[in-house]
Amino acid sequence: YAAKRGKHGYEVWAPDGTPASRDRLETLEQLRAALDSEQLDNHYQPQLDLRTGAVVGVEALVRWNHPDRGLLYPGVFLPLAEQAGLMRRLALRVLERALRDLQIWRSAGHDLSVAVNLSVSNLQDVALPGQVEMLLDACKVPAGALVLEITEDVLMADAARSQQVMAGLRRLGVRLSVDDYGTGYSSLSYLRALPVDELKLDRSFVTHLTTDARAAAIVRSTLQLSRDLGMSMVVEGVEDADSLAALREWGCDVAQGYHISRPMPAERVLSWLTSRPVPAALKPGVRTGD
Ligand code: C2E
Ligand code: MG
Ligand code: MG
Ligand code: MG
């Protein structure tokens, strides 16, 4: 790994005098250690039901509180974890933390689900369903309150194996969501075959919703498609009130984005839930589109 120049190569681990490979090696050692420490942390971003305005779930997003570099985002360290074969440990770690946090919020009376992202390599791991089952039991969370997000490129690996893993997860009662929908490959053919419950439309379509008629057309037709397939649709990347209002008018089920809330540390979630500002587009009596 140290000598390889990966997709997210050295621009991230900039060589500061020392050879880049040594930097990577050091960072990798730090990441291994972080996986056993409190440095690796979940932040959570709320998801709103657009019909009722209720918060129906949160998405867990991994963060690394690096002792020298500060808060690191997944785009910076996931490629390294992937190359070093650390994704199984990382996924189990994020999952356990997410289920433990969820159990606390559910016991406090909030009927939420939690969505956890999986990588391509996680979907190749036939041990995953059994491990998920154990964690659900240990954390006393019903399987239906867990959503696992996969991306379209799971099928670029070993499709038969990932379908086997997905079927195992589904048998537990866990829900599966296609993340970044519309940006991967063969997005239509697998919809016939794969057991998925939800489409999560990529934010590139959502962010330009009000200024780009083509983006709007894609959002609306995907919404129609998800309905016809009996799936729900989540939109991510809602950054302004106008987009939220339009999505609500079009009958979109669930939305997530900076306009609702940025991702936040676990300890802020309960207070956010009880004192959150209701987006203007969802206030009772406010009609959209006029
Ligand atoms: P994602 O699953 O598509 O997550 C959404 C990303 O968009 C998050 O970035 C989130 O902070 C950001 N976002 C949310 N709302 C908005 C918005 O309104 N505008 C804009 N511009 N961005 C928004 P983040 O946290 O940096 O995560 C990036 C990606 O890293 C995630 O994309 C996901 O693919 C991956 N990831 C995060 N956590 C995990 C994990 O635990 N395991 C795996 N395998 N992947 C993860
Ligand atoms: Mg996601
Ligand atoms: Mg996404
Ligand atoms: Mg993404």
Considering only CA atoms, which residue is closest to atom 33 of ligand 1? 117
Is 61 close to ligand 1, i.e. is its CB under 6 Å away? yes
Tell me what pLDDT residue 22 has: 79
Is 94 close to ligand 1, i.e. is its CB under 6 Å away? yes
Report residue 2's pLDDT band, with 50, 70 and 90 as the boundaries.
very low
Ligand located closest to 41 CA: 1
Considering only CA atoms, which residue is closest to atom 45 of ligand 1? 117
Q: Does residue 16 have a pLDDT over 90?
A: no
CA of 17 to the centre of ligand 1 (A): 32
By the CB criterion, residues less than 5 angstroms from ion ligand 3 are 179-180
* Integer Cα distance of 228 and 268 in angstroms: 37
Report residue 288's pLDDT band, with 50, 70 and 90 as the boundaries.
very low
Supply 148's token pair.
């696992």
Ligand located closest to 206 CA: 1
**Amino acid of residue 269:** V
Is 180 close to ligand 1, i.e. is its CB under 6 Å away? yes
From 83, 117, 135, 256, the mutation candidate for ligand 1 (largest count of ligand atoms within 8 A of CB) is 117
Burial of 133 (0-12, 13-18, 19+ CB in 10 A): middle
Q: Does residue 27 have a pLDDT over 70?
A: yes
Question: Is 0.95 exceeded by the ipTM?
Answer: yes
How close are the terminal C-alpha atoms of the chain, in Å?
56
> Mind listing the pLDDT tens digit for each residue in 132-184?
999 999 999 999 999 999 988 876 778 889 999 999 999 999 999 999 999 88
Q: Which residues contact 64 (CB under 8 A, 6 or more apart)?
A: 31, 34, 39, 40, 41, 71, 72, 76, 77
Ligand located closest to 200 CA: 3
Report residue 86's pLDDT band, with 50, 70 and 90 as the boundaries.
very high
Q: Which residues contact 284 (CB under 8 A, 6 or more apart)?
A: none
Mean pLDDT (the chain) is 89
* Integer Cα distance of 77 and 59 in angstroms: 19
Cα distances (angstroms) measured from residue 1 to each of 14, 86, 147, 240: 16, 12, 32, 41
SS3 readout for the chain: CCCCCCCCCCCCCCCCCCCHHHHHHHHHHHHHHHCCCCCEEEEEEEEEECCCCCEEEEEEEEEEEECCCEEECHHHHHHHHHHCCCHHHHHHHHHHHHHHHHHHHHHCCCCCEEEEECCCCHHHCCCHHHHHHHHHHHHCCCHHHEEEEEEHHHHHCCHHHHHHHHHHHHHHCCEEEEEEECCCCCCCHHHHHCCCCEEEECHHHHCCCCCCHHHHHHHHHHHHHHHHCCCEEEECCCCCHHHHHHHHHCCCCEECCCCCCCCEEHHHHHHHHHHCCCCHHHCCCCCCCC
pTM of the predicted model as reported, rounded to 2 decimal places:
0.91
Tell me what pLDDT residue 200 has: 96
